[in-house]
Amino acid sequence: MKDFNKNKKILRLLLSVSHNSGPYNQFFLTSLKIWPDQVRCVTLKSKIKTENITQLYDSKSNFFIFLYSIFKSIYWTDILHLHHANLLPFSIFAFILKKRIIFTLGTEYKNLKFHHRFLLRIFNRFFFAFIACSKCVEEGLNKKGYKNVFLIRHGINLEECLNIKQTKLNKYSICFAGRLIPEKNIPLLTESILSLGNKKKITLSIAGIGSELSKLKTLTTNFNSLNVVDILGQLSRKQVRNVFASSQFYISLSKSDGMPIAVLEAIACGCIPILFNSRPHQELSELGLQFISIPTDSITDIKNSILNAINLSKEEIESIRVNNNQKILNFSSTNMLERYKQIAYY
């Protein structure tokens, strides 16, 4: 491994940018603080207005002007960093211009659509480094025979999480943040909490939007329960962290992820995790983080795990929190970029 070359310029080409975009938040904003004169971010579309992003395309754009804008951006850089398979055809420009191409896969290979897998097969030969965001992602790529794969775990903006004031007034408060899609099992989670027959008033706050939203609203409307489910919709990154900071527990029934960023941010904001026994969550345990495990996706197991969590003593909660407060320091986006400096950005 080599030292970072302070003259190298890095271009992050994104498909889209929003307040909750991982490549924008975890990667670009952190690198902008460290190397302000060496990094740029361009995107095909942006849902937020900010001075540090250049949007290359809109409905009025001429296609050839759009292609020229991408070519000009790549011409400026030494390293092109991509995060989405749909952008891989533009790496031809980088290849022609003899620029270094870095690709980071942020989800398990089995989650990729057919055309994404096809594009990776074609263009991975151009990669200087193929980065896996977690061990389970690395394992999936190795099984498929990909070469030049490196493990660099995703990190989070620890400073922003740790600086939020924690106000955990309800010791039975649970939260979730993420896309409301079938893979996240949010209706099952909601039904499990609503059907809990106990005298403790449990609250579940759900932040996010997606295809399961209407099903979720119907479920909460028709279910008669003492427990409360609050559907918050799409929130900014800061608002989500405030939800974490005011909740005692974070829960996830997700069966497949890359590196579960929301779980890490929730831990950094003081939440005790309740996590489904999936491979990405097992990896967190292997790295020293503690949580209450949900062994299967049966309602009985989900309900039992939730009850086990809310019945933890103050001493048990404090023990988990002290351990996790120490281990979470290993997951900073600054540490992540140090690894990129050694493996890909030199």
Digitized pLDDT (tens) for each residue of the chain, 346 residues in all: 455 566 789 999 999 888 778 888 888 888 988 888 899 999 998 877 777 888 887 777 788 889 999 999 999 999 999 999 999 999 999 999 999 999 999 999 999 999 999 999 999 999 999 999 999 999 999 999 999 999 999 999 998 898 888 888 788 999 999 999 999 999 999 999 988 866 678 899 999 999 999 999 888 888 877 678 899 999 988 999 999 999 999 999 998 888 999 999 999 999 999 999 999 999 999 999 999 999 999 999 999 999 999 999 999 999 999 999 999 999 999 999 999 999 999 8
* Domains of the chain and any CATH numbers: 10-151 (3.40.50.2000), 158-330 (3.40.50.2000)
Q: CB within 8 A of 109, min separation 6: which ones?
A: 117, 137, 140, 141, 143, 144
Predicted confidence at residue 1, as pLDDT, reads: 42
Per-residue confidence (pLDDT) for residue 21, from 0 to 100: 82
Distances (CA, A) of 253 to 209, 249, 275, 297: 16, 13, 6, 8
Contact 255, 278 (CB under 8 A): yes
Q: List for the chain the helix, strand, coil content (%; round to 5).
A: 45, 20, 35
Amino acid at 9: K
Residues 186, 180 contacting (CB under 8 angstroms): yes
Distance CA 105, CA 132 (A): 5
CA 133/CA 340 separation, integer angstroms: 11
Q: Enumerate residues 6+ apart whose C-beta is below 8 A from 249.
A: 173, 174, 175, 271, 272, 273, 274, 309, 310
Q: DSSP letters of 216-272?
A: HHHHHHH---SSEEEEEES--HHHHHHHHHT-SEEEE--S--SS-HHHHHHHHTTPE
Instruction: Look up residue 9 and give its two tokens.
Output: 């310029």
